[in-house]
Amino acid sequence: MSREEILRAIPHRPPFLFLDEIVEIDSDRILARKQVSPESDFFRGHYPHFPVMPGVLLCECCFQAGAVLIARRVGDKAMASGVPVVTRINDAKFRRMVRPGDVLSIEARIDDVLDEAYYLTGRINVEEAPVLRVGFACMLAKEESAGA
Protein backbone atom coordinates (compact mmCIF):
# COMPACT_ATOMS: atom_id res chain seq x y z
CA MET A 1 0.00 0.00 0.00
CA SER A 2 1.57 3.28 -1.11
CA ARG A 3 1.50 6.66 0.58
CA GLU A 4 -1.26 7.75 -1.82
CA GLU A 5 -3.40 4.79 -0.73
CA ILE A 6 -2.74 5.66 2.91
CA LEU A 7 -3.92 9.22 2.21
CA ARG A 8 -7.12 7.83 0.69
CA ALA A 9 -7.73 5.57 3.71
CA ILE A 10 -7.32 8.04 6.60
CA PRO A 11 -7.80 11.79 7.10
CA HIS A 12 -4.29 12.45 8.49
CA ARG A 13 -2.10 14.75 6.39
CA PRO A 14 1.47 16.02 6.55
CA PRO A 15 2.99 17.21 8.72
CA PHE A 16 0.91 14.93 10.98
CA LEU A 17 1.08 11.77 8.85
CA PHE A 18 3.41 9.23 10.44
CA LEU A 19 3.19 6.31 8.00
CA ASP A 20 5.33 6.03 4.86
CA GLU A 21 4.13 2.67 3.57
CA ILE A 22 2.05 -0.37 4.43
CA VAL A 23 4.11 -3.55 4.18
CA GLU A 24 1.38 -6.08 5.02
CA ILE A 25 -2.32 -5.89 5.82
CA ASP A 26 -5.11 -8.39 6.42
CA SER A 27 -8.42 -8.20 8.27
CA ASP A 28 -6.90 -8.11 11.79
CA ARG A 29 -3.27 -6.99 11.42
CA ILE A 30 -1.23 -4.30 9.68
CA LEU A 31 2.50 -3.79 9.38
CA ALA A 32 3.67 -0.33 8.34
CA ARG A 33 6.98 1.47 8.05
CA LYS A 34 8.16 4.99 8.86
CA GLN A 35 11.60 6.48 8.15
CA VAL A 36 12.27 9.01 10.91
CA SER A 37 13.72 11.99 9.08
CA PRO A 38 16.38 14.05 10.83
CA GLU A 39 14.55 17.04 9.32
CA SER A 40 11.32 16.33 11.23
CA ASP A 41 10.15 19.58 12.80
CA PHE A 42 9.65 18.11 16.29
CA PHE A 43 13.41 17.45 16.59
CA ARG A 44 14.03 21.22 16.63
CA GLY A 45 12.57 21.37 20.14
CA HIS A 46 12.71 17.76 21.42
CA TYR A 47 15.66 18.07 22.09
CA PRO A 48 17.93 20.25 19.93
CA HIS A 49 21.21 18.78 21.23
CA PHE A 50 19.92 15.23 21.79
CA PRO A 51 17.03 14.65 19.34
CA VAL A 52 14.52 12.03 20.48
CA MET A 53 11.15 11.27 18.86
CA PRO A 54 8.43 12.07 21.42
CA GLY A 55 6.65 9.04 22.88
CA VAL A 56 3.23 10.47 22.07
CA LEU A 57 4.21 10.57 18.39
CA LEU A 58 5.32 6.94 18.57
CA CYS A 59 1.87 6.12 19.93
CA GLU A 60 0.36 8.17 17.10
CA CYS A 61 2.20 5.96 14.58
CA CYS A 62 0.33 2.96 16.02
CA PHE A 63 -2.95 4.85 16.08
CA GLN A 64 -2.61 5.79 12.42
CA ALA A 65 -1.73 2.22 11.45
CA GLY A 66 -4.83 1.09 13.37
CA ALA A 67 -6.93 3.68 11.50
CA VAL A 68 -5.76 2.28 8.14
CA LEU A 69 -6.58 -1.24 9.36
CA ILE A 70 -10.07 -0.18 10.45
CA ALA A 71 -10.59 1.65 7.14
CA ARG A 72 -9.70 -1.53 5.25
CA ARG A 73 -12.07 -3.52 7.43
CA VAL A 74 -15.12 -1.23 7.29
CA GLY A 75 -14.75 0.04 3.74
CA ASP A 76 -14.87 3.43 2.06
CA LYS A 77 -18.56 4.12 2.71
CA ALA A 78 -18.28 3.72 6.48
CA MET A 79 -15.07 5.76 6.65
CA ALA A 80 -16.69 8.55 4.64
CA SER A 81 -19.22 9.07 7.44
CA GLY A 82 -16.75 9.13 10.33
CA VAL A 83 -13.25 9.97 11.49
CA PRO A 84 -11.16 7.45 13.46
CA VAL A 85 -10.49 8.74 16.98
CA VAL A 86 -8.67 7.20 19.93
CA THR A 87 -10.93 6.70 22.92
CA ARG A 88 -8.57 4.89 25.30
CA ILE A 89 -4.85 4.27 25.80
CA ASN A 90 -3.68 1.45 28.06
CA ASP A 91 -0.32 0.25 29.30
CA ALA A 92 2.04 2.17 27.04
CA LYS A 93 5.53 0.74 27.56
CA PHE A 94 8.56 2.43 26.02
CA ARG A 95 11.67 0.25 25.69
CA ARG A 96 14.16 2.45 23.83
CA MET A 97 14.53 5.91 22.32
CA VAL A 98 13.90 6.64 18.66
CA ARG A 99 16.53 8.85 17.05
CA PRO A 100 16.80 10.61 13.69
CA GLY A 101 17.37 8.14 10.86
CA ASP A 102 15.70 5.17 12.59
CA VAL A 103 13.26 3.09 10.57
CA LEU A 104 10.12 2.19 12.52
CA SER A 105 8.37 -1.11 11.97
CA ILE A 106 4.83 -0.38 13.15
CA GLU A 107 2.29 -3.13 13.86
CA ALA A 108 -1.32 -2.78 14.92
CA ARG A 109 -3.59 -5.72 15.61
CA ILE A 110 -7.34 -5.75 16.27
CA ASP A 111 -7.92 -7.72 19.47
CA ASP A 112 -11.67 -7.25 19.75
CA VAL A 113 -14.61 -5.35 18.29
CA LEU A 114 -17.64 -4.41 20.40
CA ASP A 115 -20.38 -2.49 18.62
CA GLU A 116 -18.46 0.36 16.98
CA ALA A 117 -15.42 0.22 19.29
CA TYR A 118 -12.19 -1.37 18.10
CA TYR A 119 -9.67 -2.61 20.69
CA LEU A 120 -6.13 -2.84 19.36
CA THR A 121 -2.55 -3.52 20.36
CA GLY A 122 0.24 -1.55 18.75
CA ARG A 123 3.93 -2.36 18.64
CA ILE A 124 6.95 -0.59 17.22
CA ASN A 125 10.38 -2.09 16.61
CA VAL A 126 13.59 -0.62 15.24
CA GLU A 127 15.87 -3.27 13.73
CA GLU A 128 14.01 -6.02 15.64
CA ALA A 129 14.52 -4.18 18.96
CA PRO A 130 11.26 -3.39 20.80
CA VAL A 131 10.51 0.32 21.13
CA LEU A 132 6.84 0.53 22.17
CA ARG A 133 3.89 -1.61 23.10
CA VAL A 134 0.54 0.11 23.64
CA GLY A 135 -3.08 -0.97 23.98
CA PHE A 136 -5.69 1.40 22.60
CA ALA A 137 -9.29 1.65 21.54
CA CYS A 138 -10.81 3.72 18.79
CA MET A 139 -14.06 4.29 17.03
CA LEU A 140 -15.41 6.21 14.08
CA ALA A 141 -16.69 9.57 15.28
CA LYS A 142 -19.38 11.15 13.16
CA GLU A 143 -18.17 14.34 11.53
CA GLU A 144 -20.18 17.39 12.53
CA SER A 145 -20.69 20.38 10.33
CA ALA A 146 -18.46 23.39 11.02
CA GLY A 147 -21.45 25.49 12.09
CA ALA A 148 -22.70 23.06 14.72
Distance CA 70, CA 53 (A): 26
- For residue 122, which of 85, 90, 87, 74 has the smallest C-alpha distance? 90
Which residues are CB-neighbours of 134 under 8 A, at least 6 positions away?
59, 62, 89, 90, 91, 92, 93, 121, 122, 123
Burial of 82 (0-12, 13-18, 19+ CB in 10 A): middle
Catalytic positions, please? 46
Q: What is the DSSP letter of 96?
A: S
